[in-house]
Structure 1
Amino acid sequence: MLEIKNLNVHYGVIHALKDISLTVNAGEIVTLIGANGAGKTTTLRTISGLNKATSGEILLEGKNITALSAPQRVEMGISQVPEGRRIFPAMSVLENLELGAFLRKDKSEIKKDMEMVYERFPILGNRKKQLAGTLSGGEQQMLAMGRALMSRPRILLMDEPSMGLAPLLVREIFKIIKDINQTGTTILLVEQNASMALSIAHRAYVIETGSIVISGTGEELARSNEIQKAYLGGE
């Protein structure tokens, strides 16, 4: 579904991504793990059109989207749950969700999707009139996920969904990510919590200082001594 070929990204003189290549097949959860500053967020932001590629290609179902704007990519089915959630705090839960569907015109389908979001995240249904800024961290993460789902993505980019959440909530968020994938949405997941990410991922890539250094199935990487030492707190 998504293919990245020899992608390079610069921030001024800093070479942030160096010839990155990766693929995400339809129906998969693929995770990108690595240390802080390795280039994980830059990869997602470049796929969604928020950062410009210096060179290389981004293909969605074979179509080159490297030159398209971020809104055009949303229309084509790419949606991002950003790092730090980035909900609109002074707007209600309902208004945040409506903004997720801002490019859509199919009112009756939008209504159906809103019901689906409330079914998946009952707390949002209970708090639809509440200001988003008054929600807890976990609720804001659910709102950010619900908002992204309102654009009906074919591929969902998720950046650090477990950041700052209590362990119990982290498990719940990962269960929801798995459920979203099982109902047909392809997911590219960036996550600091490598063991949780690898436990649900079909495949995984490890990024170090802007380069992909290892790839394999989630299971293979979870078993790898090298990965355990570097990312899973193993000896």
Structure 2
Amino acid sequence: MLEVDGIHTYYGSIHALRGVSLRIAAGEVVTLIGANGAGKTTTLMSISSVTPVREGRITFKGDDITRMSSERIVARGVTQVPEGRMIFPALTVEENLRMGAYLRKDRDGVRRDADMVYDLFPVLRERRRQHGGTLSGGEQQMLAIGRALMAQPRLLLLDEPSLGLAPIVVENIFEVIRQINRAGTTVLLVEQNAQMALSVAHRGYVLATGQVIMEGTSEELLNDPKVRAAYLGED
């Protein structure tokens, strides 16, 4: 479904990604793990065309999207849930969800998908008239994921969904990620909690200083001594 071939991305003169390559097949959950500053978020931003790629190529379902606008990439079925959630605090939960469907014209389908989001996150149904800025951190994360689902993504890019959340909320979020995947959405997950990320993913890539230094199935990475020592807090 997605092929990232040798991409180089810069922030000004800072060389953030140095030839990153990865593959995602339809139906997979793939995770990117690594320390802060490794290039995980930049990889997602490059795929979404928020941060332009200077070299290399990105294809989605066989089409080159390397220099396509972010809006056109969303229209093709790639949607990102950004780090920090970035919901619209002055809009209600319902209005935030409608913003996720802004490219759609099928009103009945939008209503059905809103109901699907409310079924995934029942607390959002209770809060649907409440302003996004008054929600708890966990509820805002649920809303950010729900808003992305309103765009009917084929590939969902999730950036640090557990950041700053209580363990019980994290468990809930990751169970929903499994449900989303079982329902047919492919997922690329960036997550600081490597143990949690590898528990939900089929495969993973390890990034360091803007490069892929290791890849494998989740089981292979969970059992690799270097990964365990560096990212799972084990000797």
Give the shorter-chain TM-score range: over 0.9
CA distance in 2, matches of 1:131, 1:184: 30
Report the alpha carbon displacement of residue 37 of structure 1 after superposing the two structures with TM. Answer: 0.6
Report the alpha carbon displacement of residue 62 of structure 1 after superposing the two structures with TM. Answer: 0.9
Regions of 4+ moved over 6 Å: none
Report the alpha carbon displacement of residue 104 of structure 1 after superposing the two structures with TM. Answer: 0.5
Report the alpha carbon displacement of residue 67 of structure 1 after superposing the two structures with TM. Answer: 1.3
- Counterpart residue number, 1:105: 105
Amino acid at match of 1:30: V
Secondary structure in 1 aligned to 2:227? helix
- Counterpart residue number, 1:24: 24
Report the alpha carbon displacement of residue 21 of structure 1 after superposing the two structures with TM. Answer: 0.5
- Counterpart residue number, 1:133: 133
The answer on 1:115 being equivalent to 2:99 is no
CA distance in 2, matches of 1:106, 1:49: 26
- Counterpart residue number, 1:173: 173
After superposition, the C-alpha distances for 1:170-203 in whole angstroms (9 at most, x for unaligned) are 1111111011000000000000000000011100
After superposition, the C-alpha distances for 1:43-76 in whole angstroms (9 at most, x for unaligned) are 0011011010001001001110111100000000
How much identity, in percent, do the aligned residues show? 57
TM-score (norm: length of structure 1): 0.99
- Aligned positions, number: 235
After superposition, the C-alpha distances for 1:60-117 in whole angstroms (9 at most, x for unaligned) are 0111011110000000000001000000011100000000000011111111101111
- Counterpart residue number, 1:198: 198
- Counterpart residue number, 1:143: 143
Gaps in structure 1 of 5+ consecutive residues: none
Secondary structure in 2 aligned to 1:164? coil
- Counterpart residue number, 1:6: 6
- Counterpart residue number, 2:225: 225
After superposition, the C-alpha distances for 1:111-157 in whole angstroms (9 at most, x for unaligned) are 11011111111111111100000000100000000000000000000
Secondary structure in 1 aligned to 2:53? coil
TM-score (norm: length of structure 2): 0.99
